[in-house]
């Protein structure tokens, strides 16, 4: 079943569906910020550390809020 069009959604449903997008964007920009961060020794954090943090975060950002949004949709609907 497809979700209703955005213009016909109640504000609470719109909030439920926008949560995964907000979390995903925050994770991406947080990962980019982490990639250019210099640690206490002045060492620049490079791509291996970035992928070690960013990929699990992206998976969690996509899966966990998606489940929450799905349950929220069923409850609010």
- Average per-residue pLDDT in the chain? 68
Q: How many whole angstroms separate alpha carbon 12 and alpha carbon 6?
A: 11
| pLDDT for 18 | 75
- The answer to whether residue 58 scores a pLDDT higher than 60 is yes
More confident residue, 20 or 39: 20
Q: In the chain, what are the helix, strand and coil shares in percent, each to the nearest 5?
A: 75, 5, 20
At residue 48 the predicted structure's pLDDT band, cuts being 50, 70 and 90, is low
- The answer to whether residue 45 scores a pLDDT higher than 70 is no
Backbone dihedral angles phi then psi of residue 15, each to the nearest 5 degrees: -65, -40
66 CB neighbour count, 10 Å cutoff: 14
- The answer to whether residue 34 scores a pLDDT higher than 60 is yes
């Amino acid at each position: 079943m497809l979700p209703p069009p955005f213009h016909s959604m109640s504000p609470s449903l719109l909030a439920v569906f926008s949560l995964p997008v907000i979390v995903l964007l925050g994770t991406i920009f947080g990962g980019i910020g982490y990639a250019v961060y210099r640690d206490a020794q002045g060492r620049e954090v490079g791509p291996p550390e970035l992928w070690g943090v960013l990929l699990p975060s992206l998976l969690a950002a996509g899966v966990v809020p998606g489940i929450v949004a799905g349950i929220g949709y069923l409850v609010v609907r």
